[in-house]
Every structure is written in C-alpha cells, then in structure tokens.
Amino acid sequence: MIFTYKQTQIHYTISGQGKPLIFLHGFLENSTIWKDLIPHFSNTFQCITIDLFGHGQTKNLGYIHTMEEMAQLVHVLITQLQLTQYTLIGHSMGGYVALAYIDLFPDTVSNIVLLNSTSLEDSSERKLNRDRAIAVVKKNPNAYTSMAIANLFAPENRASLLEDILFIKEQAAQTSLQGIIAALEGMKIRKNRLHILKDFTGGKLILAGKKDPVLSYNQLQNEALESNTNLISFDGGHMSYLENKTDVISTLNLFLVSNYTS
C-alpha cells in the first residue's frame, strides 16, 4: 500500500485484525524483514509495517532523515488509520524512531519493544564511525552494505544463516546512496532518550544479543536497570529476529499477552 507524505511516496503493509502492532525496521532494512514474524501475530493482532524514509519502496525526504522526522511519518500513517492505542516494535534504528515517537506523542503508545536497540545517544566514538561509514559508502555503497550486514551477525551464526544474510544484503543493496547517508546522519545526531524510556508507563521490553557487535550488552543491562525495563537476552548478535527467531517470537507473545490483551 502507498500513501503520500510531504510529496514523498510511503510504502506500508497491513495484515490481520485486533490491537495494532507497528513494526519499525532498522538501518539498511525495510518492511520485508518482518516476513517470518508477522504470520505468528496476524491471527491475533493487526500487524502494520512501514518502509521508513530512504528504505524499501519509500523515497527519500532529504539529506538528513532525523528520528523525529521518521516518527512524524509513522504518526501520519497512524492518524490515517485512525488508531488510538498501539504497540511499537522497533529493530535497531526502528527502536530509535519508536522512542522519538513516544517523545513526540507520549499518550498514544501502549507498549514499546526495543529489539537490538537502545535509548542512548551515539558515543563520540560511534559518531566518528558514522562519519567514516559515510566516507566509505560514498566511494562504494554496495561493498559497504554487504560488509555492514554480515558484521551484524554473531560469527558462529553466519554459515547457518547464509540464506537470510543474502536476503538482507539484497534488500540493503536496494537502499539508495542518499537514503544510506541520510539515515547515518540522522542516527548520529539523535537525542539521548533514556529519560523517555524511564518515564514511559506502558509495557516496555528490551531484547538484546549477548554478542551484539553494535551495542554493548553490559551497557544495555545498565540501561534496562536504570529505566526499569525488562531485558531478555539471547545468545546471538544484532539480528535476534533471525539469529534467535523462535525465542524472539515466544518472548514477544508472552509480553503481548501480559501487556496487550483485554
């Protein structure tokens, strides 16, 4: 499905009926990453996916896609669908967008799930790495996306998940140069929203990989403790929805039954 926001075509999908789950993909991903999870929830919930700016079938909005602008995009869709209460499930960058959404629209979200994501801002070192990534991607975007995707998985999982890795690489390769850079710039300048997570009164959950090469597991443990957020960990990397698919599905089901059923 397509709608237009700020003269930009936005792609989204809807399946199932019930209380809404809004799935927000990560950097270099798009709504197709949820294809194996949606069937496990669409019999009970209304599952909504969206391609964020510069990803999938959604066009670019500008040269920097801030988390706030992406959150506004999600809100336009939610408003069009006339939803009043919903759960946000965000993978990596999608988690940043979910937190930006709660920051902007705090009274409409029932629950939030941060899947391999954090409420903290980029460290100084991480910001420098974003700049280095931008320099690399300008020279060879395909080489950058291929390397970036493979490095998100725990080394011991790469052989067994080769088919999934190739699929994600194919999706990443469709992301335009502008879309990649705009997202990197937007993530680099995102705000620290630990206080947003701490103050959020709905259900909240962090799903983390103990061997995540992007996010420090110890840091996520401290973040969960400080924000009074339940943390469930898996023995994998940054791509838990693939590396630990069965456990992620069962954990989400338990969370939703506890926090999102009448």
Q: Residue 183's domain is classified under what CATH number?
A: 3.40.50.1820
Interatomic CA distance for residues 21 and 233, integer angstroms: 22
219-239 per-position pLDDT tens digit = 999 999 999 999 999 999 999
Q: Do the Cβ atoms of 34 and 49 come closer than 8 Å? A: yes
Residue 10: φ, ψ to 5°? -115, 130
Tokens representing 31 are 């709504």
88-124 per-position pLDDT tens digit = 999 999 999 999 999 999 899 999 999 999 999 999 9
Q: What is the CA radius of gyration of the chain?
A: 17
Handedness of CA 10, 14, 19, 20 (dihedral sign): negative
* Residue-range definition of the domain harbouring residue 141: 2-259
Neighbours of 54 (CB within 10 A): 25
Which pLDDT does position 194 carry in this prediction? 98
Low-confidence stretches of the chain (pLDDT < 70) are 261-262
How many domains are contained in the chain? 1
Interatomic CA distance for residues 22 and 19, integer angstroms: 10
Which pLDDT does position 261 carry in this prediction? 59
> Is the model's pTM score more than 0.95?
yes
Which pLDDT does position 26 carry in this prediction? 98
Tokens representing 219 are 């840091």
Tokens representing 247 are 């456990």
